[in-house]
């Protein structure tokens, strides 16, 4: 796929967390179950979300993960960056790293448009938008190919 597995998981995990919307913290194990992400691997990803300041983690009895920031302040692009993904680092269609506006590969224009659209979307969409339209991203757990 386009995003790597890890960043896709990150999006899904965050989406899963906000849609759950329970009163207390959500356990990693439960989140893993609803999102269908391998639980130990999810833990690692959630650690990154904690470090980025999106969620808080509580150890011990009754612990788990809980949102720390208002949803409107968590942009998709931030989640992706926290997971280590950066669209601008993605090489062009041909993997040609010289590809640029002055020295374009045959598909440079389309590629550029895709990147721009992606970035614009990721920048302007927050987790609040995701919550409102809860079809998005949650359903992504049905995806298969890597």
9-28 positions binding DNA, by CB under 7 A: 9, 25-28
Collapsing DSSP to helix, strand or coil, 44 comes out as helix
Asked if 40 is part of the footprint of DNA (rule: CB under 7 A), the reply reads: yes
Q: Name the H helices within 36-141.
A: 39-51, 76-82, 108-124, 127-132
6 vs 84: CA distance, rounded Å:
8
Collapsing DSSP to helix, strand or coil, 74 comes out as coil
Angle, CA of 65, 134 and 127, to the nearest 5°: 55
Stretch that binds a second copy, among 33-41, 48-56, 62-70, 138-146 (CB under 8 A): 138-146
Closest alpha carbon to 131 in 34, 14, 3, 36: 14
Asked if 95 is part of the footprint of DNA (rule: CB under 7 A), the reply reads: no
Contact letters for DNA, residues 73-92 (x by CB under 7 A): --------------------
Stretch that binds DNA, among 15-23, 34-42, 73-81, 122-130 (CB under 7 A): 34-42
> Given candidates 3, 52, 66, 71, which one binds a second copy under the rule CB under 8 A?
3
> Given candidates 20, 73, 91, 123, which one binds a second copy under the rule CB under 8 A?
91
Asked if 94 is part of the footprint of a second copy (rule: CB under 8 A), the reply reads: yes
Asked if 113 is part of the footprint of DNA (rule: CB under 7 A), the reply reads: no
Question: Treating both helix axes as pointing N-terminal to C-terminal, what angle do 28-35 and 5-20 enclose, rounded to 10 degrees?
Answer: 110
76 vs 74: CA distance, rounded Å:
7
Contact set with a second copy (CB under 8 A): 1-3, 5, 8, 11, 90-98, 105-107, 110-111, 113-114, 117-118, 121, 125, 136-137, 139-140, 142-146
């Amino acid at each position: 796929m386009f995003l790597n597995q890890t960043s896709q998981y990150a999006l899904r995990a965050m989406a899963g967390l906000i849609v759950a919307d329970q009163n207390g913290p959500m356990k990693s194990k439960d989140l893993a179950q609803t999102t269908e992400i391998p639980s130990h691997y999810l833990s690692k990803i959630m650690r990154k979300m904690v470090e980025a300041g999106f969620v808080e983690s509580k150890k011990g009895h009754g612990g788990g993960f809980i949102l720390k920031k208002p949803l409107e302040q968590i942009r998709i692009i931030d989640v992706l960056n926290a997971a280590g993904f950066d669209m601008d680092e993605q090489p062009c269609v041909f993997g040609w790293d010289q590809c640029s506006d002055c020295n374009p590969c045959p598909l440079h224009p389309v590629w550029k448009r895709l990147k721009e659209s992606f970035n614009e979307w990721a920048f302007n969409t927050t987790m609040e938008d995701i919550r409102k339209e809860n079809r998005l991203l949650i359903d992504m757990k049905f995806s298969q190919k890597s």
